[in-house]
Amino acid sequence: MALLLPLLAAAPTATADQPRGGGLQQAFTAAAERYDVPREVLLGVSYLQSRWDGHRGAPSVGGGYGPMHLTDAATALASAPRSATHHAHGAEDPRGDDARAPKKAAPAPPAPPVADDLPARLRTLERARHLTGLPARELRESPTANVHGGAALLAAAQKRLGLPLSRDPARWYAAVADYAGAADTATARAFADEVYAVLRTGAQRTTDAGERVRLDRSPGLRPDVATLRRLGLPAGERGPDVECPRGVSCESVPAPYQELGDGDYGNHDKADRPASQRIDYIIVHDTEGYWDTALKLVQDPTYVSWHYTLRASDGHIAQHVPTRDVGWHAGNWYVNAKSVGLEHEGFLTAPDAWYTEAMYRSSARLVRYLARRYDIPLDRQHILGHDNVPGTVTSSIRGMHTDPGPYWDWAHYFRLLGAPLRQTAGPDGGLVTIRPDYDRHQPDYTDCGKPGQPCAPHGSGAVRLHTAPRADAALVSDVGLRPDGSPATTGVNDTGARASTGQRYAVAGHEGDWTAIWYLGQRAWFHNPARQPTAVHATGWVVTPRPGRSEVPVYGRAYPEPAAYPQGVPVQAVSPLPYALKAGQRYAVGLRTRGEYLWATTFDPAGHKVVRGEETYYQIQFGHRVAFVRAADVTLRPSGR
């Protein structure tokens, strides 16, 4: 990482020009006047970093505080969650294929960053303290002070670059590009371009403190991009094999494909997708660790792999595995063989180690690029969280991962994807799409720290599912997670009674402010009041058991029938999960697919084979995770009939 150049401006005294109180919008106005920075530039930079939220003084996963994301990673590290080997969580085999011995993760992760070794980009709050004279604690905890700190940094950068403190936002491009502390021109340019995209379109929202903030749009704004060369950064051009869209910063950090001896190899499989197999899914993960840790792990040939990692501070992307090849990331071999995996720097059990807007936007650009390239629909049947991937067999259900968890903002993500989650039918549509107001919807969760300990109040895109239309009714039971039939809990990692934003379910009833859906073979109720709805009406296709069938089996993978396997490829069992789709119940259909299995157990990809059968399956939204049913077992019909 390149260190930022020293500031030229001298720090004022500790009592000089202290920021006054008032609302956040006023704070942006006051800071703009104090430091001669255009207010819209302050608003745009802040929106890209935090969407103007203060997060109650808690740091982001990138060590940034407040609306301007002033970084004090040394303080953040002192109270941060311990970095974990993400794919060592639970009992999940990330490869998810019993044709090989389970792939175990590295025994211990690399050590987290050491405070004394932190680059300047992770210590901007210290510089803001010198420039403003404000105490570090105030800069971390007071949104008003934080805005002044960010304004001071932008003004100092403008002076250092030999540019005037102009009121014209077009002349601040280089200072904006400098703000995130990028190590190369490509990354700095990508950050600045996103800020100016926000300035052109405008934005408005209610912050986590309940304040309404607005940035008026400037559609004709054209920044002076030629000033970028004043940063003196290396080009940082991407390699020819990097698969990323224009407008994002992307580099290659290859995962090793290496023979380890005794027939073992790592950490992914060579393939020829989409010629060999169609790519149907994009899987959203969080790293449960820091950027540097994730990059070290994915370069370990004895570990596992995914295709991309995204950095929280600025949305920078590293590609590890070519999309034509198969990563070991989802814990389900059928899904791995037909997906691309994206890891996002973050911690699901630390809701206030928040995801930055820069990372959300960069991720959305990458997903749109991949979706166009591989003809993947932009919906929650194809854009899955790791927590939506099913266990392959009954014994694997309890070990499946639960990231990115209830704090990932799916509604905002799909707006950025250009596919907002809207109502598509009237009350008779037969389906609902889960869509609570993320910021206002704050269900209680536990186990973010110690077992049983309440999590901090936080917006969530998930609704709770009860056995009856009452808040005091027990949560529904997931027999795959709890064979004894006991109810689910409010634990942040317990997906047994949870429906997430964007997921579609067949309606099973209404009573007052409550709506019932078919879920894991039972009727499940969630609070859905008209004054603050948590779902919208939808329509589509559903499946139900064929006439004469009391129930049909549900599967975690869509494998071919035995007759489809050629000589030399062992038949893979299609064993049902411990659930059943019962007569009278309906489940929303995601996609139709033929049974398919990738036989890849040798280092030499010449020995790999794709087995395709005649048996077809429907992917359905069965619980919080998707599942598969045989087309021959069910009837397909419109949801409103």
Q: By mean pLDDT, which of 176-190, 316-330, 344-358, 513-527 is the weakest? A: 344-358
Per-residue pLDDT reduced to its tens digit, 71-120: 998 888 777 665 555 555 556 788 888 888 776 555 455 555 565 677 88
pLDDT-derived band at 188 (thresholds 50, 70, 90) equals very high
Q: What is the average per-residue pLDDT within 123-150? A: 97
Give the domain-ending residue among 364, 397, 430: 397
Examine residue 89 and state whether it is found in any structural domain, yes or no: no
What integer pLDDT is reported at residue 220 of this predicted model?
95
Give the domain-ending residue among 231, 255, 278: 231
DSSP calls for 580-611: EEETT--EEEEEEEEEEEEE--SSSGGG-EEE
Within 8 A by CB and 6+ apart from 71, the residues are 62, 63, 64, 65, 121, 122, 123, 124, 125, 181, 313
Per-residue pLDDT reduced to its tens digit, 265-281: 989 999 999 999 999 99
For residue 563, what are its two tokens?
A: 């007759």
On average, the pLDDT of the chain sits at 91
Examine residue 370 and state whether it is found in any structural domain, yes or no: yes
Q: Residues 54, 146: contact at Cβ < 8 Å? A: yes
Between strands 281-286 and 383-385, the pairing is parallel
pLDDT-derived band at 393 (thresholds 50, 70, 90) equals very high
DSSP calls for 132-178: H---HHHHHH-HHHHHHHHHHHHHHHHHHTT----S-GGGGHHHHHH
CA distance 257 to 271: 12
Q: What is the average per-residue pLDDT within 445-452? A: 89
Q: Within 10 Å of residue 461's Cβ, how many Cβ atoms?
A: 26
What integer pLDDT is reported at residue 94 of this predicted model?
86
Residue closest to 505 by CA, chosen among 623, 403, 415, 596? 623
Examine residue 312 and state whether it is found in any structural domain, yes or no: yes
- Reported residue count of the chain is 641
Q: What is the average per-residue pLDDT within 290-308? A: 93
What integer pLDDT is reported at residue 16 of this predicted model?
38
What integer pLDDT is reported at residue 100 of this predicted model?
81
Query: In sequence order, what are the beta bridge partners of 535?
Result: 434
Examine residue 12 and state whether it is found in any structural domain, yes or no: no
Q: By mean pLDDT, which of 103-117, 181-195, 340-354, 425-439 is the weakest? A: 103-117
Per-residue pLDDT reduced to its tens digit, 241-253: 899 998 899 999 9
Between strands 504-511 and 514-519, the pairing is antiparallel
Looking at 276-431, list the stretches that DSSP marks H as alpha helix, in order from N- to C-terminal side.
291-298, 333-337, 357-374, 410-416
Clarify whether residues 381 and 480 are in a common domain: no
pLDDT at 479 over 70: yes
What integer pLDDT is reported at residue 76 of this predicted model?
85
Clarify whether residues 292 and 324 are in a common domain: yes
Examine residue 208 and state whether it is found in any structural domain, yes or no: yes
DSSP assigned state of 371: H
- CA dihedral sign of residues 574, 332, 273, 568: negative
Percentage of residues in the chain having pLDDT higher than 70 = 92
For 121, the 3-state DSSP assignment is helix
CA distance 515 to 507: 7
Residue owning tokens 């704004």: 221
Q: By mean pLDDT, which of 38-47, 97-106, 126-135, 543-552 is the weakest? A: 97-106
Q: Within 10 Å of residue 171's Cβ, how many Cβ atoms?
A: 18
Identify the domain containing residue 497 by its residue range.
407-539
Which H or E run contains 463? strand 462-464
What integer pLDDT is reported at residue 5 of this predicted model?
26
Clarify whether residues 527 and 583 are in a common domain: no
What integer pLDDT is reported at residue 121 of this predicted model?
86
CATH number of the domain to which 352 belongs? 3.40.80.10
Give the domain-ending residue among 539, 555, 578: 539
pLDDT at 540 over 90: yes
Clarify whether residues 348 and 247 are in a common domain: yes
What integer pLDDT is reported at residue 116 of this predicted model?
62
Q: What is the average per-residue pLDDT within 49-54? A: 93
pLDDT at 361 over 60: yes
Clarify whether residues 206 and 296 are in a common domain: no
Clarify whether residues 247 and 308 are in a common domain: yes
Q: Residues 305, 329: contact at Cβ < 8 Å? A: yes
CA distance 301 to 304: 7
DSSP assigned state of 399: G
For 379, the 3-state DSSP assignment is coil
The count of domains in the chain is: 4
* CA–centroid distance for 442 within its chain: 19
Q: What is the average per-residue pLDDT within 414-429? A: 96
What integer pLDDT is reported at residue 506 of this predicted model?
98
C-alpha separations of 352 from 51, 108, 347, 448, 459 in Å: 14, 25, 9, 10, 10
Q: What is the average per-residue pLDDT within 233-245? A: 88
Clarify whether residues 220 and 268 are in a common domain: no
φ, ψ dihedrals at 70, nearest 5°: -70, 125
Clarify whether residues 350 and 414 are in a common domain: no
C-alpha separations of 495 from 25, 386, 395 in Å: 38, 11, 16
pLDDT at 369 over 60: yes
Examine residue 257 and state whether it is found in any structural domain, yes or no: yes
Q: What is the average per-residue pLDDT within 18-26? A: 70
Per-residue pLDDT reduced to its tens digit, 546-594: 999 999 999 999 999 999 999 999 999 889 999 999 999 999 999 999 9
pLDDT at 438 over 80: yes
Q: What is the longest distance spanned by two Cα atoms in the chain?
A: 83
Clarify whether residues 584 and 527 are in a common domain: no
pLDDT at 485 over 90: yes
Residue closest to 417 by CA, chosen among 466, 368, 382, 351? 368
Residue closest to 542 by CA, chosen among 592, 502, 577, 593? 592
Q: What is the average per-residue pLDDT within 486-496? A: 96
CA distance 180 to 546: 57
Clarify whether residues 28 and 165 are in a common domain: yes
Residue owning tokens 């489940």: 587
What integer pLDDT is reported at residue 373 of this predicted model?
98
CA distance 473 to 465: 9
* CA–centroid distance for 95 within its chain: 20
